[in-house]
Structure 1
Amino acid sequence: MTARPESFGEVVAGHAGRGELVVQPRMGFSCPACMRHGLLRTRAARAATVGTITLDSYTRVGDHDASRRAIAAGADLNGYPLVDRDRGTTAAMLDRVVTPGFPVQVRHGSADPRRIVRALLDFGLDATEGGPVSYCLPYSRLPLATAVRNWREACEMLAAGGGEPHLETFGGCMMGQLCPPALLVALSVLEGMFFRQHGVRCISFSYAQQTHAVQDEEAVAALRELIRRYVPDARTHVVIYTYMGVFPRTAGGARRLLADSARLAARAGASRLIVKTTAEAHRLPTVAENVAALECAAAAARGVPQRPAPADTGLLMQAKALVDNVLALHDDIGRALVIAFARGQLDVPFCLHPDNAGRTRGRLGADGRLEWQRIGSLPIGDLVELPATERMTSADLLNALRYVERTFDDRFGAPPMVLAGSDHGPPQLRTGSNQ
């Protein structure tokens, strides 16, 4: 009798119990042989890893006619077209890739993941990610209420599929940058609660590395505390994303930023890290570059002890106030999210989606921390001290967006270059990055 493969959550928990940070690439190829090669190289890396299949942009937006035309023409898509590839090809690509200790997660970026979820379950996979807010507001023009309905059905499909399906909320990574951490933490918790309300019991909560390491540690501590309070009956872990904004252009700067994100994950007690590579600012990375990033991150985290949360600056109370306000709006969390955004009580800075009020602004403080410049109708006015002026020029915005890139290139970089490494697998080994 064949042993049941461990679920995604069980594998991550097992590594965490041994003090190992799980590292994971953003990896997706349209070529089935390339996709298989990337998964096998990820599995063989000198690190605790899980696999990734990142889907293409046509699949993300539900343009399956375009996806099928591209497949027929042999076009090189920016991810794997899981929904539209013929079943036999995908089954052969996955054959003997998933092992008891190596699950594979499907990553996509879709506000309507229903066909994606049906497809991944059809291939025996049961781990994916996203959320009704975080995969609608930045990536789609679908109404938020429609995305909520789509994600409700997707969660229910996953929950009915048997085993222990896993969902990762992308809410802690909204817009990548210049979003104060309290809102990231609140959105991550709310999306995780949405998943749980619709039957999913194994959930990871995301947070993206931002601009100040100590503030990030405080944010992850707040996230862990709110998970404990609001989702006590699920198998959970925290996943950190290496910085999602403008990436350093030098190999030295990029490697140092990646290593810092791994050490952040270890210090803050996160269980998993989504990595970036030295190619990030220039082009899509090769498999070899992805593997190098996995091994670099694992080495940076190895032996770094978890440490107590830094001094409280009020971030936890801000995040809790945002969560509690949403929960008071309606018993159905999806409907509560729609109401909160309609009232501007959730409002993502610099997000242009029609259902986002657009009255909030984040800014970079003098010490590199992310702060509120304007809070609109967010219910945190008694918890936030706003600056005397709300003015932000276009130059201020551009400088803030490039702060991390400039800091790490100036301190740790050499002349701009990307080390491609060697790769003897199939041709065209480039990986798409959906987030």
Structure 2
Amino acid sequence: MTVLAPPRGLSFGEVVANHHAKGELVVQPRMGFADPERMGRGLLATRAARAATVGTITIDSYTRVGDHDAARAALAAGADLNGYPLVDHEPGTTAALLDTVRAGDFPVQIRHGSPDPRRVVRKLLDLGLHATEGGPVSYCLPYSRMPLSAAVDNWRRCCETLALARGPRLEPHLETFGGCMMGQLCPPALLVALSVLEGMFFWRHGVRCISFSYAQGTHAGQDEEAVAALHALIREYVPHARTHVVIYNYMGVYPRTPGGALALLAESARLAARTGASRLIVKTTAEAHRVPTVTENVTALEHAAEAALGVSPIGHLGDTGIHAQAKALVDNVLSLDNDLGRALVTAFARGQLDVPFCLHPDNAGRARGRLDPSGRLEWQRIGAMPLGDLVDLPADRRMTSSGLLDALRYVERSFDDRYGMPGIETVQLIQGSGT
């Protein structure tokens, strides 16, 4: 492998750990632009934000699905893509971009969404980068029709490629996306279990620096319990890895008003700070309307960092069974096969892992989640998952189309109704960074 740009500074995991040790929440955008100059400006603005930040280059959709001919044609035509075509830009162009932004304490992570990221992983390593994210389940079932067995094999190869790149100045980093499946209406025990299982998969195939994701849900107290369960299971199942937890700002239907969007972002930042998470993936006030600008991303980063300041860790937590449910799902998968990849395929084939509302052919689709009157996500149906002795199912297990739509918009409406008329401070915050 020819490295065009050598690794520079600390590894991704080291940077996040150093900020965490100082009590700083690392905040990160999901930014991706096709134009190298604009992408470079976005990374420089992220680095200069009044916050502890790391950089992001998000890949375009053609590259995600492996349609490199379309990506090259779009570049030749000057078309505006929805991300950065890392594989198909000239290597020298991307190397020059990275030379302007990378610093010892500002690593850049590649985010992609692909069930087959082998070319992406090879390219990022050739460019001297070392951090990416995804997983064999979480980047297959929601985003593709690729057989799960093929995605598992692709991700095994990617993990091995990253592991082989380890060196004295480079510690590759992988972030699970398993805690974010489908964005909404997936009860937290399954998110926690999938995040842990994907992290274990990375570890078994040689990756030693891993972050575990969890997406902010519909109820703050339930999220606190879920993140505590995630920490506990990481300690139990991946005790020797260098790890941290990353929270995602709510992944479902987002508030449409600036006040609602900023309030939801602040709540996710406080969730991360209360639960000992080290990093937060942010969204912006433009999320419900269009692709955000660089300025809107910086405003979101700074707003989240400020919201996390001075937040005390939580003490005693209630126990509604999230840890027990997640552990039961993990243990069941581990009992199916010594090879974790085959075990994951078997578990989905038998419906013993089953993602609500996921239409992938390899997902059984018999499980359902719903909101209770307090806004907590609970199981409406569990299908064949081994949770029968751990879950009290409702008597009425039907879901109407209107009930589904109401549940999908619960967070959006809750925050817009409460915060939809921003006060003077919010207006100043939105306007203060320019346009």
TM-score normalised by structure 1 residue count: 0.95
Where does the alignment leave 5 or more consecutive residues of structure 2 unmatched? 1-5
Question: 1:16-48: CA deviations, max 9, x gaps?
Answer: 000000000000000000000000000000000
CA shift for structure 1 position 422? 5.7
Match in the other structure for 1:157: 161
Match of 2:243 among 230, 236, 242: 236
CA shift for structure 1 position 96? 3.4
CA contact (8 A) 1:359 1:376 kept: yes
SS of 2:155's partner is: helix
1:186-197 → structure 2 map (5 Å cutoff):
186-197=193-204
Residue 390 to residue 33, structure 1, CA distance change in 2 (3 Å): same
CA contact (8 A) 1:238 1:270 kept: yes
Match in the other structure for 2:74: 70
Q: Which runs of 4+ in 1 moved over 6 A?
A: none
SS of 2:369's partner is: strand
Q: Does 1:58 align with 2:46?
A: no
Which residue identity does 1:34 align to in structure 2? R
Q: Quick one: distance in 1 between partners of 2:421 and 2:78?
A: 38
CA contact (8 A) 2:136 2:148 kept: yes
CA shift for structure 1 position 421? 6.6
CA contact (8 A) 1:56 1:77 kept: yes
Match in the other structure for 1:393: 400
Which residue identity does 2:342 align to in structure 1? R
Q: Does 1:322 align with 2:329?
A: yes
Match in the other structure for 2:359: 352
Match of 1:102 among 103, 106, 114: 106
1:370-385 → structure 2 map (5 Å cutoff):
370-385=377-392
Q: Does 1:34 align with 2:33?
A: no
Q: Quick one: distance in 2 between partners of 1:16 and 1:93?
A: 28
Q: Quick one: distance in 2 between partners of 1:328 and 1:167?
A: 25
SS of 2:338's partner is: coil
Q: Quick one: distance in 1 between partners of 2:308 and 2:431?
A: 23
CA contact (8 A) 2:133 2:174 kept: yes
CA contact (8 A) 1:206 1:241 kept: yes
Q: Does 1:273 align with 2:264?
A: no
Q: Quick one: distance in 2 between partners of 1:346 and 1:396?
A: 24
CA shift for structure 1 position 309? 4.8
Which residue identity does 1:40 align to in structure 2? L
CA shift for structure 1 position 244? 0.2
Question: 1:103-154: CA deviations, max 9, x gaps?
Answer: 0000000000000000000100010000000000000100000000000000
CA shift for structure 1 position 4? 5.3
CA shift for structure 1 position 308? 2.3
CA shift for structure 1 position 423? 5.7
CA RMSD for the aligned pairs?
1.4
Q: Does 1:118 align with 2:122?
A: yes
CA contact (8 A) 2:8 2:102 kept: no
Which residue identity does 2:64 align to in structure 1? R
Residue 89 to residue 3, structure 1, CA distance change in 2 (3 Å): closer
Q: Does 1:132 align with 2:136?
A: yes
Match in the other structure for 1:81: 85
CA shift for structure 1 position 367? 0.6
CA contact (8 A) 1:287 1:423 kept: no
Q: Quick one: distance in 1 between partners of 2:227 and 2:338?
A: 26
Total equivalences in the alignment: 422
CA contact (8 A) 2:8 2:103 kept: no
Q: Quick one: distance in 2 between partners of 1:12 and 1:241?
A: 15
Match in the other structure for 2:3: none
CA contact (8 A) 2:246 2:280 kept: yes
CA contact (8 A) 1:180 1:371 kept: yes
Which residue identity does 1:242 align to in structure 2? N
Q: Quick one: distance in 2 between partners of 1:40 and 1:4?
A: 16
Q: Quick one: distance in 1 between partners of 2:81 and 2:432?
A: 23
CA contact (8 A) 1:218 1:309 kept: no
Q: State, as a whole percentage, how many aligned pairs show the same letter.
A: 76
Q: Does 1:25 align with 2:29?
A: yes
SS of 2:289's partner is: coil
CA shift for structure 1 position 392? 0.6
* Greater CA drift, 336-345 or 156-165: 156-165
CA contact (8 A) 1:217 1:309 kept: no
CA contact (8 A) 1:288 1:421 kept: no
Q: Quick one: distance in 2 between partners of 1:23 and 1:301?
A: 10
Q: Does 1:180 align with 2:180?
A: no
CA contact (8 A) 1:117 1:158 kept: yes
CA shift for structure 1 position 98? 1.2
CA contact (8 A) 2:299 2:433 kept: no
Where does the alignment leave 5 or more consecutive residues of structure 1 unmatched? 425-435
Match in the other structure for 1:13: 17
Question: 1:374-420: CA deviations, max 9, x gaps?
Answer: 000000100000000111100000000000000000001128x9957
CA contact (8 A) 1:278 1:289 kept: yes
Q: Quick one: distance in 2 between partners of 1:3 and 1:182?
A: 37
Which residue identity does 2:383 align to in structure 1? G
CA contact (8 A) 2:7 2:128 kept: no
